[in-house]
Amino acid sequence: MSNKIRISIAGANDFKIFELVDSFHDDNISFDLFGVDKPEYHFWSNVSYIEADSDEEAVRLAVNDVLNGANVIFKGLVQTHTILKEVLKKEYGLVQKKLLSHVSIIEISALNRPVLLTDAAMNIDPDIDQERLIIENAIDVAHSIGIKSPKVSLLSSAENFNPKMPSSVKAKDLTEYYQDKKIDAIVYGPLSLDISLSKEIAEEKKFTGPIQGDADVLVVPNIDVGNVLYKSLTMFANAKVGGIIVGTKVPIVLTSRGDSLENKILSLKFALKTI
Amino acid sequence: MSNKIRISIAGANDFKIFELVDSFHDDNISFDLFGVDKPEYHFWSNVSYIEADSDEEAVRLAVNDVLNGANVIFKGLVQTHTILKEVLKKEYGLVQKKLLSHVSIIEISALNRPVLLTDAAMNIDPDIDQERLIIENAIDVAHSIGIKSPKVSLLSSAENFNPKMPSSVKAKDLTEYYQDKKIDAIVYGPLSLDISLSKEIAEEKKFTGPIQGDADVLVVPNIDVGNVLYKSLTMFANAKVGGIIVGTKVPIVLTSRGDSLENKILSLKFALKTI
């Protein structure tokens, strides 16, 4: 019984959530659903539904559920900021890292491995100290999903250092910072997206650095770069994606209303791998 | 004779340039090639080859060719900065706008129209005044390729104004600036990539603004956003792309060594449409 995984869903009164829960039918997983108005779906035995008066209460119940042993929070039909506001309250003690950040997992058929992307959804324009915390959160996630020494690419527009380009300056400083650190990861930049992900282009450009098309983690210089990359891959490259917030006691799965069931499932599976 | 189009190529001693020139076999087009070492290809009659001692001289000859009536400069195997350095020299008088900027044309099969992207290659982190000039250069290009009232989307991470997000603030200010201006274009932002390019997502998100998946021009807040978008679309979404520098007396086609013949052809065709 104690090895069971408990997933807490805030904002659960929706058919898409029913479909999600139904697709995880597994005796080792149980779901605690919290939402306004109880739906009429027939859930299986390991699913409980508790009605709340408001989204805020549904979120409060879901967060309290973590204090009682739930392993993951899944954002259903509530606003991201409603969840974050509750999670960040000091009395819960849920924040474990110095900075919370968003990590996406991206699966593209042209690549033979998943790639992590951070931070495409939470930190807007991180300075070098914040970027360091974002990188370390992502390395922890990479380790937890089985990538022993992740190759972390610090994205910029090219692989050449350009003092006039802020992303390039930040990447160079971070690369130097991590050079002497004993971490199970290779952190390198500035690097273009193509050298990060294409062995052929890395060869064509005669790039000799430590990442040659085999990046495991893409770190973007600001949220706009991450957002546009995430969206272009999902809209036009048939990428499957999932996303979580990390740095808290349990991962918080963040999917948006418009996400497909497939992407919601991938997000939750990704979160489960990180616990 | 006087209606003939003359294309000047700087850095022309390469088989890819031969293939490009050969694919434009047309009595109304002539090519003036400038390069180090004359290649042994058999060009057709409207092609001339002039040998230069160095890349710099090839560029100088190509730029001078514009003063003698050439309509387009095509960057072959020379560095972009070598071309720009020459073009920017005041004695030529080639710079006609207050700011030079890069405009890409992107063709994705999922979209039924080409989309322009600016600036993914030249201006690094434009302030609001520079962004205004970038937008106006792109509107001119859109008009010249037949888009009468282009819908210009100012990209950010979402469609909501967020005072903490610089791209959002810049987009809002620019939208307000253009509201009362009599220009043949609709300029609007902040806007996400998905609402800019997907009617379905615009509907799903109940977005009621003037651009609903039908953007003609994407304006990025900084070069890194443009670069990653351009590369993700070419690498993973089979996009065909072409790119030119505008703001000069004649367009300057900028393709990179690694670009496919198809993309070089598209770039040159794009440039020819803008003259």
ipTM of the assembly? 0.93
Average pLDDT value for residue range B156-167: 96
pLDDT at A1: 42
Type of residue found at A16: K
Interface contact B157-A233, CB threshold 8 A = no
* Angle between helix B15-23 and B261-274 (nearest 10): 50
Q: Are residues A265 and A240 in the same domain?
A: no
Question: Which tokens belong to B121?
Answer: 């290659």
Q: Are residues B83 and B162 in the same domain?
A: no
Average pLDDT value for residue range A203-207: 90
Average pLDDT value for residue range B109-132: 96
Interface contact B228-A204, CB threshold 8 A = no
Average pLDDT value for residue range A153-182: 96
Is the CB of residue A153 less than 8 Å away from at least one CB of chain B? no
Point out the residue among B108, B221, B239 whose CB comes nearest to the CB of A224: B221
Least-confidence region, from A109-113, A174-178, A267-271: A109-113
- Residue keyed to tokens 């770069």: A225
| CATH number of the CATH domain containing B252 | 3.40.718.10
| DSSP β-bridge partners for residue A48 | A32
The distance of B246 to chain A (nearest Cα, Å) reads 20
Whether the per-residue pLDDT at B2 is higher than 80: the answer is: no
Q: Are residues B142 and B159 in the same domain?
A: yes
Average pLDDT value for residue range A208-231: 97
pLDDT level of residue A232 (50, 70, 90 thresholds): very high
Q: Are residues B111 and B238 in the same domain?
A: yes
Whether the per-residue pLDDT at B202 is higher than 70: the answer is: yes
pLDDT at A59: 97
- Is residue B195 within 8 A of residue A256, CB to CB? The reply is no
Q: Are residues B218 and B133 in the same domain?
A: yes
Q: Are residues A76 and A164 in the same domain?
A: no
Q: Are residues A86 and A167 in the same domain?
A: no
Q: Are residues A135 and A52 in the same domain?
A: no
Interface contact B165-A124, CB threshold 8 A = yes
Phi, psi of B161 (to 5 degrees): -70, 130
Q: How many domains does chain B have?
A: 2
pLDDT level of residue A201 (50, 70, 90 thresholds): very high
For chain B, percent of residues with pLDDT exceeding 90: 87
- Is residue B178 within 8 A of residue B136, CB to CB? The reply is no
Sheet with A47-52: strands ordered across: A47-52, A29-36, A5-10, A72-75, A252-253, A240-246, A101-107, A115-118, A217-219, A151-155, A186-191
**For residue range B24-79, what is the model confidence (pLDDT) as tens digits?**
998 999 999 999 988 888 888 999 999 999 999 999 999 999 999 999 999 998 98
Q: Are residues A17 and A59 in the same domain?
A: yes
The distance of B1 to chain A (nearest Cα, Å) reads 42
Average pLDDT value for residue range A46-62: 96
pLDDT at B257: 73
Interface contact B157-A224, CB threshold 8 A = yes
Interface contact B204-A258, CB threshold 8 A = yes
For chain A, give the number of residues: 275
Is the CB of residue A84 less than 8 Å away from at least one CB of chain B? no
For chain A, percent of residues with pLDDT exceeding 90: 87
Interface contact B258-A201, CB threshold 8 A = yes
Residue A124 CA: distances (Å) to CA of A173, A220, A250: 19, 10, 22
Find chain B residues with C-beta within 8 A of A163's C-beta: none
pLDDT level of residue A2 (50, 70, 90 thresholds): low
Nearest to A270 by CA among A118, A131, A153: A118
Find chain A residues with C-beta within 8 A of B205's C-beta: 258
pLDDT at B13: 86
**For residue range B87-105, what is the model confidence (pLDDT) as tens digits?**
999 999 999 999 999 999 9
Whether the per-residue pLDDT at A235 is higher than 60: the answer is: yes
Is the CB of residue A79 less than 8 Å away from at least one CB of chain B? no
Phi, psi of A82 (to 5 degrees): -65, -40
Average pLDDT value for residue range A131-151: 97
Is the CB of residue B263 less than 8 Å away from at least one CB of chain A? no
- Is residue B51 within 8 A of residue B37, CB to CB? The reply is yes
Average pLDDT value for residue range A147-176: 97
Q: How far apart are CA B124 and CA B222, in angstroms?
A: 6
Point out the residue among B125, B192, B198 whose CB comes nearest to the CB of A166: B125
Phi, psi of A118 (to 5 degrees): -150, 140
- Is residue B8 within 8 A of residue B73, CB to CB? The reply is yes
3-class SS string, chain B: CCCCEEEEEECCCCHHHHHHHHHCCCCCEEEEEEEECCCCCCCCCCEEEEEECCHHHHHHHHHHHHHCCCCEEEECCCCHHHHHHHHCCHHHCCECCCCCEEEEEEECCCCCCCEEEECCCCCCCCCHHHHHHHHHHHHHHHHHCCCCCCEEEEECCCCCCCCCCHHHHHHHHHHHHHHCCCCCCEEEEEECHHHHHCHHHHHHCCCCCCCCCCCCEEECCCHHHHHHHHHHHHHHCCCEEEEEEECECCCEECCCCCCCHHHHHHHHHHHHHHC
Q: Are residues B55 and B162 in the same domain?
A: no
Interface contact A192-B227, CB threshold 8 A = yes
Average pLDDT value for residue range A77-96: 93
Q: Are residues B105 and B92 in the same domain?
A: no
Q: How far apart are CA A83 and CA A80, in angstroms?
A: 5
pLDDT at A14: 85
**For residue range B253-273, what is the model confidence (pLDDT) as tens digits?**
998 777 889 999 999 999 999
Residue A107 has a CB neighbour count (10 Å cut-off) of 17
Q: How far apart are CA B182 and CA B190, in angstroms?
A: 20
- Per the prediction, chain A carries an average pLDDT of 94
Point out the residue among B223, B239, B258 whose CB comes nearest to the CB of A157: B223
Q: Are residues A239 and A109 in the same domain?
A: yes
Q: Which domain holds residue B189?
A: 101-243
Sequential DSSP letters for chain A: -TT-EEEEEES--SHHHHHHHHHT--TTEEEEEEEES-------TTEEEEEESSHHHHHHHHHHHHHTT--EEEE-SS-HHHHHHHHT-GGG--B-SSS-EEEEEEE-TTSSS-EEEE-SSS-SS--HHHHHHHHHHHHHHHHHTT-SS-EEEEE-SSSS--TT-HHHHHHHHHHHHHHSS--SSEEEEEE-HHHHH-HHHHHHTT--SS-SS--SEEE-SSHHHHHHHHHHHHHHS--EEEEEEESBSS-EE---TT--HHHHHHHHHHHHHT-
For chain B, give the number of residues: 275
